[in-house]
Structure 1
Amino acid sequence: MLRIAICDDQPKELQIINEYITEYITKYLDNQSIETEMKEFDHPDSLLTAMEAESFHLYVLDIVMPMVSGIELGKEIRRLDREAQIIYTTTEPQYALQAYAASPINYLIKPIDKQQLFDTLTLAVSKIDLSQEQTFTVKTAESLRVLKLSDLLCCEYRNHAVSFTLANGEEVISRTIRESFGEYCSSILKDVRFLQCHTSYLINMRRVERFAKDSFTLRSGKVVPIAAKQYPVVRDQYMNFLMAKEVHR
């Protein structure tokens, strides 16, 4: 599913952009069977709060907003997610140079030209990898849970079970597993975003905040150890992941 966030403190502008994107989805995405979810935010703080529990593929941001400017908002989005696509919309062309600190895909001047927005959306969608909607099914003591891999921060093997830490802070614990941790998580490790950095830990590299010789620090603040003997391999795999992301941006 393609998730889109629009943030503009002017209700009329928010409505116009929503209508344009809705028309674009109907014309160009529905016939490609691309599911979409669009959310509106009338203040940057509300978007920042939402981002604590969920992520978006595409952000359409106004520049001049109260408390937190669209430029600062874009920088924070980029800090959290190097792959997200950002489109700026504004009445103020003088901020264009500053805006590129967040690596936006385009900077559109209001009133928005609909075809220009459509062309920018097409470019943005072409750069988004929707394969991240892959899932993993976990048998817990109470039920079956289907977890989105994009929501997963890390997995930890302990007490013959696997603990899954999600972006919203929730912890999901599997029933006792009989196979090895690596075998249990083998389908997750086929996803290029995931790395086993220790015999008992697996991380989502998209969720890394800091990389050190002995550990990864995730966005939640959780510190995941790196096995000393595995460090050279872990370092190379993580660096390759970062370089691949830069190539595709």
Structure 2
Amino acid sequence: MVIRVAICDDVPVIAKAIEDLLLEYDSSLFEIDIFYSPFRLMELLEGNTYDLFILDIEFPNLSGIEVAETIRKNNFTCPIIFITSFKEYMEKVFKVNTFDYILKPVTKDKLYPALNRAIKYLDLDNSKFLFTFNKVFYSLSFSEIIYFEKNKRSVLIHTPSDIYETILQTRALLSKVNDNFVQVHTSFIVNVRCVKQITNNIIIANLNDKETVEIPISRKFLDSARKQILMKLRDFI
């Protein structure tokens, strides 16, 4: 699996230094594009998708915040790491769902922990959920699955674009999923990475970049599910 990275900084020396740190981290893991102009990056966003953005905040005629707002129009979940010389931007950057914020100069000690968390967030372990239905074999990446819904003997597997079905008991299902899934109801198991909000009786999860879905959370699972979800989310923020 390769992570497509867009680095945008109008100072070539800084952009090259960030690229070098990424390649030193793991030269086989990243496919890197460098942009010295934020306008050029925004021009290419419609035809190019990136898994990770590393953006400067201060440009002569544009703010990195505006670049991030453009990114978020089409991609709400990809990690964005801001690079800046000033702490004063912290409040603004988190309004565009920022993954991390690094003060210059960029060093291994600052960048590598952010990369570790981004890689974990992107779920690049290639693990799959394997199942069959009507004698047809399916293989889904866990990162594609938003939640499982138990319906009598069946399990409905909800993804952004489709709903799949298989026959599986709850105990067997829980043994097959990875650590990002938490049971929140007798009939529902949710992917923590998709959780947007938790209330006393529902979880709001991101269905895709524009839509959300409400998943019930029962009183029986409320305390344990809330604790598990918050603990797991700490690894991603």
TM-score of the alignment, normalized to the shorter chain, above 0.5: yes
Taking the TM superposition and a 5 Å limit, the aligned residue runs for 1:153-164 are 153-158=146-151, 160-164=153-157
Instruction: Report 1:35-54 matches (<5 A).
Output: 35-38=29-32, 42-43=41-42, 46=45
1:87 is aligned, of 82, 88, 104, to: 82
Distance 1:21 1:2, change over 3 A: farther
Matches within 5 A, 1:5-154: 5-6=5-6, 8=8, 17=15, 23-30=20-27, 35-38=29-32, 42-43=41-42, 46=45, 56=51, 58-63=52-57, 69-71=63-65, 73=68, 84=79, 86-88=81-83, 93=85, 96-99=87-90, 101-102=93-94, 104-108=100-104, 116=106, 120-128=110-118, 130=120, 132=123, 133=125, 134-141=127-134, 143-154=136-147
Would you say 1:184 and 2:173 are equivalent positions? yes
- The residue type equivalent to 1:237 in the other structure is Q
Q: Secondary structure at the match of 2:231?
A: helix
Shift of 1:200: 1.6
Amino acid in the other structure paired with 2:81 = I
CA contact (8 A) 2:181 2:190 kept: yes
Q: Does 1:203 align with 2:202?
A: no
One-letter identity of the residue aligned with 1:205? V
SS at match of 1:174: strand
Structure 1 residues 105 and 227, CA, compared in 2 at 3 Å: closer, same or farther? Answer: same
Tell me which protein shows more helix as a share of its residues: 1
Deviation of the 1:27 alpha carbon: 3.9
What residue in structure 2 maps to residue 236 of structure 1? 227
Amino acid at match of 1:197: V
Residue 205 of structure 1, CA deviation: 1.6
CA distance in 2: counterparts of 1:59 and 1:139, whole angstroms: 37
TM-score, structure 2 length as denominator?
Answer: 0.66
Structure 1 portions without partners, runs of 5+? none
Q: What is the identity percentage for the equivalent residue pairs of Structure 1 and Structure 2?
A: 20
**Structure 2 unmatched runs, 5+:** 35-39
Amino acid at match of 2:112: T
- 1:29 partner letter: D
The size of the alignment, in residue pairs, is: 214
TM-score for the superposition, normalised by structure 1: 0.63
CA RMSD after TM alignment: 4.2
Do the aligned residues in 2 keep the contact of 1:216 with 1:225 (CA within 8 Å)?
yes
Measured after TM superposition, the shift of residue 162 of structure 1 is: 2.5
**3-state secondary structure, aligned to 1:42:** helix
Q: Which stretches of structure 1, 4 residues or longer, exceed 6 Å deviation after superposition? A: 65-68
CA distance in 2, matches of 1:161, 1:97: 52
